[in-house]
Amino acid sequence: MKRLILMRHAKTEPWSEGVDDFGRALTPQGHSDAKRMAEELVALGWGPERILVSSARRARETCSEVAAVVTGEKVRPMESLYLTGVRGLNEAVTQNDQASTLMVIGHNPGLHDFALAILREGGAADHQASLRLNEKFPTSCAALFEAERDGTFVPAQFRLMHILRAKDFRDGDAD
């Protein structure tokens, strides 16, 4: 069985004068959300063996929070994941599909578009999850896909199993 987790970086400080997009940091809420999402993944038995992460600061900080919770992962920062589209994400996953559970931490709109492309080809085990994925892909959101067969990454073999959003696990409902 193969698993793929697509996670958008956590909540980030707004763009401001003197800070370029690449260097934006996580907010305190972002750090908390990233850690909580990692805890939820582990609770579901979805701890990644390998994490591909954009080299942008907000993605790396999200990855640090995740890596502090999950065990045995190998992190691979990739400059090519910064603001890439479906084609770039597909290439990154295909080149790193040896792990039985692979996680990609990146950015919208590419990550959301990639998740939707996999959903269109492979379908969903949970109709509500597919509706939620179609709706939006907010910060700290994770789409969990699963294929019954091992082997090279073929999107049509992956089904959407879960969609996790950080706000669903917060006390109150801040976004």
Residue 123 lies in a domain: no
Mean pLDDT of 44-63: 96
Helix (H, G, I), strand (E, B) or coil at 103: strand
Query: Residue 44 — very low, low, confident or very high, per pLDDT cuts 50/70/90?
Result: very high
What is 105-151 written as a DSSP string? EE-TTHHHHHHHHHHHHH-BS-HHHHHHHHH---TT-EEEEEESS-S
Residue 134 lies in a domain: no
Mean pLDDT of 41-63: 96
Residue 127 lies in a domain: no
Phi-psi region of 65 (alpha: psi -120 to 50; beta: other; left: phi over 0): alpha
For position 85, what pLDDT does the model report? 97
CATH of the domain at 14: 3.40.50.1240
For position 35, what pLDDT does the model report? 97
Average pLDDT, the chain: 93
117 exposed, middle or buried (CB, 10 Å; 0-12, 13-18, 19+)? middle
Residue 71 lies in a domain: yes
For position 174, what pLDDT does the model report? 45
138 exposed, middle or buried (CB, 10 Å; 0-12, 13-18, 19+)? middle
Question: pLDDT at residue 172 above 90?
Answer: no
Residue 13 lies in a domain: yes
Question: pLDDT at residue 173 above 90?
Answer: no
Give, in order, the Cα–Cα distances in Å from 139 to each of 26, 111, 123, 150, 155: 11, 11, 23, 30, 23
Could you give the CA distance from residue 79 to residue 112 in angstroms, rounded to a whole number?
A: 18
Residue 148 lies in a domain: no
Instruction: Please check whether residue 63 is in contact with residue 75, taking contact to mean a CB–CB distance below 8 angstroms.
Output: yes
Mean pLDDT of 39-56: 96
For position 149, what pLDDT does the model report? 87
For position 14, what pLDDT does the model report? 87
Question: pLDDT at residue 87 above 90?
Answer: yes
Mean pLDDT of 32-53: 96
Residue type, 24: R
For position 11, what pLDDT does the model report? 97
Give, in order, the Cα–Cα distances in Å from 171 to each of 32, 35, 48, 61, 175: 12, 15, 26, 23, 11
pTM: 0.95
Residue 161 lies in a domain: no
Question: Could you list the residue range(s) of the whole structural domain that residue 14 is in?
Answer: 2-102
Per the DSSP assignment, residues forming a β-bridge with 16 are 19
Residue 96 lies in a domain: yes
- The count of domains in the chain is 1
Nearest Cα to Cα of residue 103 among 35, 50, 45? 50
